[in-house]
Chains A and B, each alone.
Chain A
Amino acid sequence: MKGKRLYLIVLLILVTAGLPAASGEQYYAASSSLSYYLGIPHFEDEIPARSSLAVSTTVGFLGYQGSNWETVLQAHIYSVSDSLPFGNYRARGFNSLGLSILASWSLSDRFSLFIQGGSEVNFYKQIEEVFASFSFKLGPQFLIAEEPTYQMHLIVPLSVHLRKEITALQAGIGIRYLLFPFKRGDT
């Protein structure tokens, strides 16, 4: 039952993202960011939280930009390092692969806020175990370069990674690149 619900959500995301793209102003996007990853365990641990480093890369393959908003469906890859050792333990590092949808609203010509939600499958780096998770991200983005065919933003993402046994908070900095295959304004 839960699985059917999941497929329905994915289908809705695809339809939602796909409809506006068909009407023009389509773009592709890529982003990369580096974050501090603070894993807060739901189980008894030696310390309240463990620190790791996270690198995130997204590839947006279905994006649409309106006058003061945009939305994109994207694949994302995370790589989270082992945590700093503390006591007898460290948190295992992992790589993630998932799907997410991002939306942003412009508050001025150069400044906008974005919000992102998604889900991913995570693969521990050194052992053959996987787990599912959900992630949400929000933050400001600053337009730092613009041409008719592309835009480049500086982003400061704050995110939460919802794992079954850990809730992780992240703060970082990154770059987001939007590529417009059709000259904006053309239909």
Chain B
Amino acid sequence: MGDVGLLKVENQNQGYIFSINGPVIKAAGNVSFKMREVVLVGKEKLIGEVIELKNNYATIQVHEVTTGLYPGEPVVSTGKPLSLKLAPGIIGNIFDGIQRPLGTASEKFGFFIERGININPLSENKRWNVQITVKPGDIVTSGMVFAKVQETSLIMHKVMIPYGIEGKVTDIVSDGHYTILDKLIGVTSKNGTHDLTMVQEWTVRQPRPYNKRLLIDRPLITGQRVIDAFFPMAKGGTAAIPGSFGTGKTMTQHQLAKWSDADIIFYIGCGERGNEMTEVLEEFPKLIDPRSGKSLMERTVLIANTSDMPVAAREASIYTGVTMAEYYRDMGYDVAIMVDSTSRWAEALREISGRLEEMPAEEGFPAYLSSRLSEFYGRAGRTINLNNTTGSISIIGAVSPQSGDFSEPVTQNTKRFIRCFWGLDRNLAYSRHYPAIDWLTSYSEYINPLSNWYKENVNPSFIDYRNELLKILQEESGYKEIVKLVGGDILPDNQKLILEIGRLIRLSFLQQDAFHSIDTFVPLKKQFLMMELILFIYDKCLELLKNELPISFIKETGVFEDIVKVKYTIGNDEPEKFDDLKKTTGGKLDQLLINYNK
């Protein structure tokens, strides 16, 4: 083993390992690398990325385990930054943080992830049914669609002219089956001729270009009541879900990945549990999308860099995900990205920064944490693309605050760049109130830009009802403080009613059962009717109280319990049953008043 020695190679773009410190190595020798260039480290050709060039040393973060590397082993330049292969075959697949396909890796190398595995990200043998949409002589520009491929039953993959190419189509192949490496069309431009295949490459750290940003004007409908009705998310928006462990971040992210009405979902498991990714892999193919009737996996892409996988690749994984998402946005799709969790990404940043001995800012995190977060969330948005289609990227990031304390650096910095905040509360989770989104600390800045959409597409009163319910909950929390101190009996009846209605809203509307076939996804129409029903009962009770009927009488009728059960008893497409229920409960209460007055 000792015979490797110092392998100093005098090649142009080849250095050698000088020192090793966890995932960070230093290379010396002829290191005329570029910043952010990919280099191959050691004899096993581990993938690394240049992150610092100083005093004739290149500092490299290695995306694989560095155990067994020797000083003196070669470090070879590739001349390219970390980039992705973009072509059909992405949807339904699972990749690691630097786009290595984990399914193929498992077939080839077994159940452990080995080092130095070099596999093509996308299958180069699979033949896709291609339909060419241009003719010879057509003038094409960057981003224009020149071929179509049915990638999955849900997604039509539009093959686009790579960025930077503009010119005239010289020749095309006939429609038929081709691999991603086959030439489809030829284009001549100012710079010469180009043979275009289905593949294009793009660097992960650079956003893909678009024509124009658009303002937010439509919601990302999730079927989760507390989100859609109270704190809505927009297509092209940004949201954060912070919560300490056990509050249901992952559960909420899974629900959003399942039921959001985006065209394509990217689920990035960034430094989280392996079993959670396995769960998605086992569960999603069996789940049926309520809108299309197809399996959810037909529109889902997984990026899995679980916590035990190398930390540098974890840092890269969120960029890998968002870059692929931008590629599909460019085709005119609404894409949603779930990152679980951005804190693990930030910790990867901290770990690498610590190995570089950079001056830390708060809690050991590097000073550039906030600018990196803003760059990432800045890649969300609705855009008009280069080919004049409209697409969007929505980013929902889970945050795992240390000790559940929302004042820690990652949560605080994230809050500056997101506009929708779903704070998970430990006490709600302890009492098994799920989703444990705290209605008192959460907010959505999209409520104003979206209110017109709700008024036009659901009901003109939607936003008013929502505000009314939130107001009741606010009051409830105030009265609950009093109850904690002196007990509930001394409150006047109208305040007791607020407590009852508050409880009703919490149990019937805010709590949602992810495992119940009806309740797991609730359309906006039913959400509206539920709010209407609660307010109907509230008004009715107020009326009874005016007639000096004690509130305990109302409770005994059991009307509140009937309403709590509405989520299970009334299906998602049975609006008429709400009218029936209003009649029967209204009748019960009217009868109560008549009997009381007698």
Judge: A and B partners, yes or no. no
